[in-house]
Structure 1
């Protein structure tokens, strides 16, 4: 573990007007007497340097150079940031060691458990430790560092059981789950169970998923341990924090999200690091929170694509929390109204027991789902199967508006998302970039949605030569306009895109929202219409059916809980084929996401698809992709492709892991290291376990 870059010498520039003063050589600087050798994780993007390096600790930095502190070191002729990992007496490197340049901050921001988890996550995804540490530790903010009080001497210890507030019994929200009370008892007793949780839909506030999460957190805190809760977006954080404050009391919970801003985020991070807060709630950034003595890592709605990290090495929150729970001996709870195929694979492998309500309880809680066009509906309405909003949906919305707000979910944001030929239904494409042509709200003429080029007047269809156009995809804005004309005396609320409405009151209103942007209704919605179901089912994605069900159940779960009057809330699915032939629609009618995930998993096992076998998406210039793929194939794996990938010379190849061959992650790391060592000029992106955008 030597300093590779120390062999490089700086060549003096002749006739230079200014010369930067150089520090004294390492031999002339006094060295710390105790543990003078420090191992440092240098922040470098080069894969072939993915290992710690050894440096000497100068005597003047002895007290500040603590394990976990930020330091600056000389590396390859330049100053680099890094984290001090350990200190010792003997160096493994037999040559000369360079000294630490400086200690940026003595704050030990990188804890040993986080280092171990980061190394495991980097190995799992074929990445580097430096890439993961950039995700795990936020950038330093000096003012925030000064504003957070230091660690209190009388801080609660791991054996102290705090008195949690709240007036509900510990298992009030878990009473519908046969294993719920046992789960909470084990958490309160200091044990670390792992479980997959199938949440019930349409629950009153005292039994909602937020209250269930808060009670699991309270049970864990009673054992004196900390908790990390990760949810998809900031709206979920805003819903969950008041529940936690009500049960735990103020000051126990801190929010940690990427949109807080540099200073607020670093302040929240330090409050957790210094032990002032023992419960962390946040989005993807919270998965690495250095909570003291963690007892529970909880992930809500793991199928949401917001849990996928868009930066290298592209880890998923679900996997990060699993690694941290394993490394730190903590409990793991992954829950949601849907069920991802990856989580179902963990359940069927026996890693996580399934905590789910009985079928009788599910049937009593789930809203009544109606598929437009089924049964005798076509006898009364011949267009029930083909109409965008058939009569059964109109009636459900009209009846629901008599009592309160109703929800209409539209898959796409915008006005007229795309146009097609009226005669042959061929999509209209931009003559400049081949992008989809649509119509914005208030726009006089259609234009390309990619480059903005206006469509030519009188443009003919490439397939049949027709001049007539029709809308092929209608967004939430056009839907709001149509429903506003149909119900002129009713308030219309549109939520989607950059304008997301957090909540609506209990007054009658037509709420039109895109998936994930549905406002929370006070008391719940009195009817739900799921439009254009075919658009979600026809997505070019391996997870199209599972993702469609996840979005539908998330919207239908916002329905009003069953009341004493017994009037059922209707959820109408529009634009879907008969549910007997589409597993996702049948799973919605039965309200059984685990059944769909199990069936999907069985098919993928037989076909060798994720998560049964790992895959890596290799994308970039054709020559570089060919080089990377050749190395992976030589290691025994199978290449699928190539296919064009956007740019003129860009291609993508998916490589499937084969049993008996070397692990795919290890080979990916070796290939990246080899290309990094020889300074390959072309940039090739390798993503293990790629999401829908790449697979």
Structure 2
């Protein structure tokens, strides 16, 4: 185990307690806890969850004390803990268990996951006296969650669960199921189920959804209701999430809420302040700075607040007696962690719900294949509005590429702004309403081609794509940054260029000429607008940067849809659906003149789902196709990326499950290649274990070439 230190002769080792430490050494073959002795002088401070310093392989390294035990199975002499860095217990036992499960699921190391879960220490903030915990506005209900020491419920997994709730039994336990209001009719002599909202809790807008009141009651009663919620267009979704958090707090339990970006975080932060009152929650954001971020983390770690909301890192928030985990817009790629072992916030929160036996809410205007699978397996229930309620809230949606439109406007199939889109925008502007125009690409002209033969313009130096940053600029390479002022087409000798792809800034320039007299605003990566006033204006935005209009947009135009639909990506259609729905949800209802125009063929499945506002149908269709092709989430996949010889060596070592299917190799970045491994979902844990075991063998042998392991990578090809 641990090496012996000079302190080991101070006291008889057999009388001293033992501390199990996760040492911060990112080597797979050392991914296990190590035992150290605790000196009597450190006995009080050496509690589970504190930061420590230990001697490991002759070096002083950091670590976390995981637990205290009476003895160690190690037969040799143990070293002492060198130092208790701080008596602050920053690693909550529930988070430590979650981190271990996530590391196992993603074939990673516990130390890497803990680096994501616990922010760096800020000694000055830690030394400041903690503020008094806020007094609850309402006492916990009689049905509050049991104490953390109480035995788990019947459906809790024994030991360390598989951390994959999506292959649970198709028939969930009735006592934990979310019961829709429509299913509460008495059967025979059975009494009617009580789905009324408890006193002291405002149901808000949840009564617009069939199972909304039942969901809030389950949260207030401390039950682990798990749901996939499809929000209505125009919904104040942040307020609904805050109301669900209030119901959970009323039941005496905590809440963890994860959103994709800072704009969504600000909305939920304001909603929680309005519903819960001040001092009842903290918002975690990487942009806060190290001191403020650590201060807010400590507020959660010290259990001063029952609710934590934040971006991706908030999924690890150490909330006391967690009763509800929420993720909004789980299809957003910002939820995927770019650092090893690359966990996804949705999977981490679902694993946390399974381990803590708490409620979960996967929410958004769109629905992912993973969300649909949760419903199919019975792990979660659906929260949605009835069709008549949906029709009352949805805008009118029309495509430009169907037969009636082509009959009226033959150029609609090729025009970037067909007459229907132009007329819709003009009508909305004349009525005094803002118009949102969604453009997939930012910049001016991201891609250009020869004006004569349409050959894509490439850099003469590195063959990278050329683009224009402005109307008077010279073509510039996107790869090497060199200007190509004297560019000549190698195919025909022509020097004139034309646009292949039009960006948001060029679109704003064109719309300014199309609608003179109306202001044109842009919202994108360089400058993101949060809100726009309820006045006539054209707002050009890239996906994810659409500002919220005060009274909703009078019209939304979805341009250049081919750029989204034709991407060579497994999730291209799903991502397109998500971006369209998020933009269309900002439109006024059809009864007040709101209209969405999508410049695409009306026969396409994403367009049909958008017209009917039916993300559930589209998600089911996507999941069925992926199941037929054995793609995630219907199957589990892993990717191995590295030099060809390293990947080959890795595969020769790995003891893969018998059902493993190898796909590839395919070229990756630079001189690397990528191999894909596919197994049935039932073999997911075995695959992750085999990959981690092979990585440990190569690590112990000090293999010079690295291999990157990703479970369920965001991009497969």
TM-score (norm 1): 0.91
The 3 A distance-change label for structure 1 pair 157 and 631 is: farther
CA contact (8 A) 1:65 1:106 kept: yes
The 3 A distance-change label for structure 1 pair 245 and 549 is: same
Aligned to 1:66: 47
Alignment equivalent of 1:669, drawn from 692, 695, 703: 692
Aligned to 1:189: 221
For 2:618 and 2:476, the matched residues in 1 are separated by 39
Task: Tell whether 2:608 aligns with 1:586.
Answer: yes
1:285-300 to 2 correspondences below 5 Å: 285-300=313-328
Task: Tell whether 2:528 aligns with 1:500.
Answer: yes
The 3 A distance-change label for structure 1 pair 32 and 631 is: closer
Alignment equivalent of 2:207, drawn from 156, 175, 181: 175
CA contact (8 A) 2:16 2:39 kept: no
CA contact (8 A) 1:302 1:340 kept: yes
1:217-232 to 2 correspondences below 5 Å: 217-232=245-260
Aligned to 2:280: 252
Aligned to 1:541: 569
Task: Tell whether 2:663 aligns with 1:640.
Answer: yes
Aligned to 1:49: 30
1:437-476 to 2 correspondences below 5 Å: 437-455=466-484, 457-462=486-491, 467-476=495-504
Provide the secondary structure at the position in 2 that maps to 1:82.
strand
For 2:272 and 2:433, the matched residues in 1 are separated by 29
For 1:150 and 1:458, the matched residues in 2 are separated by 65
The 3 A distance-change label for structure 1 pair 681 and 482 is: same
1:252 Cα deviation after fit: 0.4
For 1:515 and 1:362, the matched residues in 2 are separated by 24
**Higher deviation after alignment, 653-662 or 439-448:** 653-662
Aligned to 1:17: none
For residues 252-273 of structure 1, the C-alpha deviation after alignment (integer angstroms, 9 at most, x for no partner) is: 0110112211111110000011
**Higher deviation after alignment, 267-276 or 649-658:** 649-658
CA contact (8 A) 1:228 1:296 kept: yes
Aligned to 2:329: 301
Provide the secondary structure at the position in 1 that maps to 2:625.
helix
1:615 Cα deviation after fit: 0.8
1:469 Cα deviation after fit: 2.9
For residues 73-120 of structure 1, the C-alpha deviation after alignment (integer angstroms, 9 at most, x for no partner) is: 000111110001111221111101011110001111111111111111
Task: Tell whether 2:110 aligns with 1:129.
Answer: yes
For 1:529 and 1:183, the matched residues in 2 are separated by 35
CA contact (8 A) 1:556 1:571 kept: yes
For 2:136 and 2:62, the matched residues in 1 are separated by 31
1:303 Cα deviation after fit: 0.3
**Higher deviation after alignment, 432-441 or 549-558:** 432-441
Aligned to 2:7: 26
The 3 A distance-change label for structure 1 pair 569 and 426 is: same
Provide the secondary structure at the position in 2 that maps to 1:370.
strand
Provide the secondary structure at the position in 1 that maps to 2:35.
strand
For residues 644-691 of structure 1, the C-alpha deviation after alignment (integer angstroms, 9 at most, x for no partner) is: 2121x2111211125786721111111111111111111211110000
Question: Which ranges of structure 1 fall in alignment gaps of 5 or more residues?
Answer: 8-23
Task: Tell whether 2:654 aligns with 1:654.
Answer: no
1:295 Cα deviation after fit: 0.9
The 3 A distance-change label for structure 1 pair 240 and 660 is: closer
For 1:148 and 1:156, the matched residues in 2 are separated by 24
Provide the secondary structure at the position in 1 that maps to 2:75.
coil
For 1:551 and 1:664, the matched residues in 2 are separated by 33
1:332-481 to 2 correspondences below 5 Å: 332-402=360-430, 403-455=432-484, 457-462=486-491, 467-481=495-509
Aligned to 1:15: none
Provide the secondary structure at the position in 2 that maps to 1:100.
coil
1:273-284 to 2 correspondences below 5 Å: 273-284=301-312
Provide the secondary structure at the position in 2 that maps to 1:351.
coil
Alignment equivalent of 1:85, drawn from 57, 66, 77: 66
Aligned to 2:185: none
For 1:691 and 1:158, the matched residues in 2 are separated by 44
The 3 A distance-change label for structure 1 pair 583 and 451 is: same
For residues 316-366 of structure 1, the C-alpha deviation after alignment (integer angstroms, 9 at most, x for no partner) is: 110111111111121000100000111111111111111111222222221
CA contact (8 A) 1:32 1:62 kept: no
The 3 A distance-change label for structure 1 pair 465 and 520 is: same
Question: Which ranges of structure 2 fall in alignment gaps of 5 or more residues?
Answer: 145-198
1:486-565 to 2 correspondences below 5 Å: 486-562=514-590
For residues 212-240 of structure 1, the C-alpha deviation after alignment (integer angstroms, 9 at most, x for no partner) is: 11111111111111111111111111111
For residues 520-576 of structure 1, the C-alpha deviation after alignment (integer angstroms, 9 at most, x for no partner) is: 1111111000010000001111000010010000001011245xxx343111111x2
For 1:391 and 1:336, the matched residues in 2 are separated by 32
